[in-house]
Amino acid sequence: MSFLGLSSSKPKSSKKPASSLQKQYLLKEYAEQTLGSGNLRLAVHLPEGEDLNEWLAVNTVDFFNQINMLYGTITEFCTPQDCPVMSAGPKYEYHWKDEGQFKKPARVSAPVYVDHLMSWVQSQLDNEAIFPSKIGIDFPASFKSVIHAIFRRLFRVYAHIYVIHFSVVVSLGEEAHLNTSFKHFILFVKEFQLIEPKELAPLADLIDSLLAQAKN
């Protein structure tokens, strides 16, 4: 997959004026500092005085990159032969749909699904009409709905990794990184109510456990 391991151009885009670049950098730096403190609940809170849409945008890029990298570690085990359908166990099967080739939901293999998903997210991040990079350009009225769609779909990659490939993750010694990334993701989702509870059902028990840990 050509996109794996690549960061979105949004935070570092050369099209941004210096003031806009600085704004994005400071928000990302703040997020990294709070993450470094070990307090993930603090890390997801909107910084005082900051714009909610800017905060959502910066974190969307970050989670996209994290999930891209995590999935990249198990791609050789996620093949059309091993994963002929994108799923999170027998009860949860995901069919791909978009505004291009797949106008109706289609049953595709997990790697094909994830390839389309990541390419779709990247196209949203690169769309100036959705994620404006210039000072003075407002986020569109549809921005929140796009964010909800992105997070809902990114969750499905976490769900597939946990349910289908967790033994591989453990064998690679990546489980601590996966758990921390997913815990951060879920706390962010809960903080801003980005995914409906029914969508989280495949990992409900794990989510309850992680949220209980976060309270301690």
* Binding-site residue set for Zn(2+): 78, 83, 160, 165
How far apart CA 112 and CA 161 sit, in angstroms, is 15
User: Which runs of consecutive H residues, i.e. helices, occur in 45-193?
Assistant: 52-72, 110-125, 143-171, 175-192
On the CB side of 43, CA atoms within 13 Å amount to 25
Annotated binding site: 78, 83, 160, 165
Contact 142, 53 (CB under 8 A): no
Residue type, 76: E
How far apart CA 15 and CA 133 sit, in angstroms, is 7
How far apart CA 68 and CA 122 sit, in angstroms, is 11
What angle, rounded to 10 degrees, do the helices at 110-125 and 52-72 form?
150
